[in-house]
A and B are shown apart, each in its own frame.
Chain A
């Protein structure tokens, strides 16, 4: 069964460093998303992406964040200068283009900012 994959599973970084989180969506999906979950809290929407551009972004998704689909398979989230409060689990999701299609979530990347 096709699935969304994410790498790395855990990333530790120093405050102020740049990180890139990688996702490989399901191959025929066209809609891509990033969500984050701070430990013990709810899952929060960050950004949606379709047709090589951002469809929608939340207030959390400020200028420090960017997304890219550099090739036909990867979808990346870049945090330019990490802050302690960026420590969270980051989930990628993808969805097909049929009405009613459901988002499928990846296993997540745990980001720890020291």
Chain B
């Protein structure tokens, strides 16, 4: 059974600081997604990573994928309050998405 784990589960960080969220998955998958979810809202797609070594960046967020290690990272650079949300990684398994446990990020002044 494919399992997807994230750490940390909770992250409280100061504005301007950098941090990395980790996503590990247990079996091979052909693509990995990162989503953002605000409280009570739906899932907003941030990145799709397809191949080993893939790196994508959007603003203060950068995602990377190491398929050999079955590891993806979401790096936050110079955090701002607007980044406060829950971040999920998800991998495809057959046609469905298997989600990680989520990382709740809180950015404070």
Give me the interface of A with B, judged by CB distance under 8 Å. Answer: 31, 33, 35, 41-45, 48, 55-56, 58, 91, 100, 102-108, 110
Q: Is the Cβ of B42 less than 8 Å from the Cβ of A106?
A: yes
Q: Is the Cβ of B43 less than 8 Å from the Cβ of A55?
A: no
Residues from chain A with a CB closer than 8 A to the CB of B98 are: 45
Q: How large is the interface on B (under 10, 10 to 19, 20 to 34, 35 or more residues)?
A: 20 to 34
Residues from chain B with a CB closer than 8 A to the CB of A105 are: 42-43
Q: Across the two chains, which residue of chain A brings its CB closest to B6?
A: A42
Q: Which of B33, B50, B94, B97 has the most CB atoms of chain A within a 10 A radius of its CB?
A: B97
Main secondary structure of the interface of A (DSSP, over half): strand
Residues from chain A with a CB closer than 8 A to the CB of B102 are: 41-42
A–B Cβ pairs within 8 angstroms, 23 of them: A31-B95, A33-B97, A42-B99, A42-B101, A42-B102, A43-B43, A43-B88, A43-B90, A43-B99, A44-B99, A45-B97, A45-B98, A48-B96, A56-B95, A91-B43, A100-B31, A100-B50, A102-B33, A102-B45, A104-B45, A105-B42, A106-B42, A107-B41
